[in-house]
Amino acid sequence: MTLSRRRFLCGAGSLIGSYALADVLHAASARTMPMRMAMPTLAPPKVPLVNPATLARFVDPLPVPPIARPSGQRTHPAYPGRSLPYYRMEMRAFSARVHRDVPPTPMWGYDGRSPGPTFETVRGEPLLIEWVNALPTKHFLPIDYNIHGAERTKPAVRTVTHVHGARVPAGSDGWPEDWFAPGHSALLHYPGVQDAASLWYHDHAMGITRLNIYAGLFGAFNVRDADEQSLGLPSGDCDLPLILCDRLIAQDGQLYYPVSDDPSAPWVPECRGNSVLCNGKLYPYFDVEPRRYRLRLINVANTRFFDLSLSQGHVFQQIGSDQGLLAAPLQRLRIELYPAERADVVVDFTGMAGQTVHLHQQSEAILEFRVRDRGRPDPSVLPATLRPVPRIDPATAVRHRVLTVGEQDDASGNPMMMTLDGRMWSDPVTEKPKQNTIETWNFVNITGDAHPIHLHLVRFQIIDRRPFDLFAWNASRVVKYIGPAQLPPPHEAGWKDTVRADPGMVTRIAMRFEGEPGRYVWHCHYLEHEDNEMMRPYQLLPA
The string of pLDDT tens digits covering residues 387-441 is 999 999 999 999 999 999 998 776 655 557 889 999 999 999 999 999 999 999 9
Continuous segment of H or E residues that includes residue 3: helix 3-10
Q: HSE on the CB side for 392, CA within 13 Å?
A: 24
Cα–Cα distance for residue pair 297/317, rounded to 1 Å: 12
Q: What are the phi and psi torsion angles at 59 (to 5°)?
A: -110, -10
Indicate the SS3 state at residue 402: strand
DSSP 434: B
Q: Is residue 48 part of a domain?
A: no
Domain count for the chain, please give it: 3
Cα–Cα distance for residue pair 489/481, rounded to 1 Å: 20
Whether 82 and 212 map to the same domain: the answer is yes
pLDDT tens track for 481-502: 999 999 999 999 999 999 999 9
Whether 461 and 411 map to the same domain: the answer is yes
Residues in the chain: 543
Indicate the SS3 state at residue 475: helix
Contact 462, 493 (CB under 8 A): yes
Whether 302 and 326 map to the same domain: the answer is yes
Cα–Cα distance for residue pair 445/5, rounded to 1 Å: 12
Rounded average pLDDT over 362-373: 98
Q: Are strands 239-249 and 438-445 parallel, antiparallel or unpaired?
A: unpaired
Q: Is residue 452 part of a domain?
A: yes
User: Domain boundary at 213, 230, 247, which?
Assistant: 230
Rounded average pLDDT over 154-166: 98
Whether 442 and 329 map to the same domain: the answer is no
Q: Which residues contact 476 (CB under 8 A, 6 or more apart)?
A: none
Q: Is residue 464 part of a domain?
A: yes
Which of 449, 454, 440, 448 minimizes the C-alpha distance to 499?
A: 454
Whether 356 and 418 map to the same domain: the answer is no
Q: Is residue 24 part of a domain?
A: no
- Using a 10 angstrom Cβ sphere, with 0-12 exposed, 13-18 middle and 19 or more buried, the burial of residue 67 is exposed
Q: Is residue 382 part of a domain?
A: no
Whether 11 and 150 map to the same domain: the answer is no
User: Domain boundary at 169, 202, 230, which?
Assistant: 230
Domain with 92 in it:
63-230
User: Residue 530 has what pLDDT?
Assistant: 97
Whether 221 and 279 map to the same domain: the answer is no
pLDDT tens track for 179-213: 999 999 999 999 999 999 999 999 999 999 999 99
Compute the C-alpha angle 411/339/268, nearest 5°. Answer: 25
Contact 441, 401 (CB under 8 A): yes
Please, what sign has the CA dihedral across residues 91, 96, 102, 103? positive
User: Domain boundary at 340, 371, 402, which?
Assistant: 371
Q: Is residue 492 part of a domain?
A: yes
pLDDT tens track for 31-71: 333 322 335 578 999 899 999 999 999 999 999 999 999 99
Whether 457 and 329 map to the same domain: the answer is no
Rounded average pLDDT over 230-254: 98
Whether 219 and 257 map to the same domain: the answer is no
Whether 182 and 302 map to the same domain: the answer is no
Cα–Cα distance for residue pair 507/518, rounded to 1 Å: 26
Contact 537, 425 (CB under 8 A): yes
Continuous segment of H or E residues that includes residue 4: helix 3-10
Whether 213 and 251 map to the same domain: the answer is no
For residue 61, the one-letter residue type is P
Whether 100 and 201 map to the same domain: the answer is yes
Q: Is residue 430 part of a domain?
A: yes
Q: Is residue 39 part of a domain?
A: no
Q: Which residues contact 263 (CB under 8 A, 6 or more apart)?
A: none
Q: Please list the alpha-helical segments (H only) found in 339-497.
A: 470-476
Mean pLDDT of the chain: 92
CATH assignment of the domain containing 121 = 2.60.40.420
**Count of CB atoms within 10 A of residue 351's CB?**
9
User: Residue 42 has what pLDDT?
Assistant: 86
Q: Which residues, listed in sequence order, are joined to residue 358 by a DSSP beta bridge?
A: 368
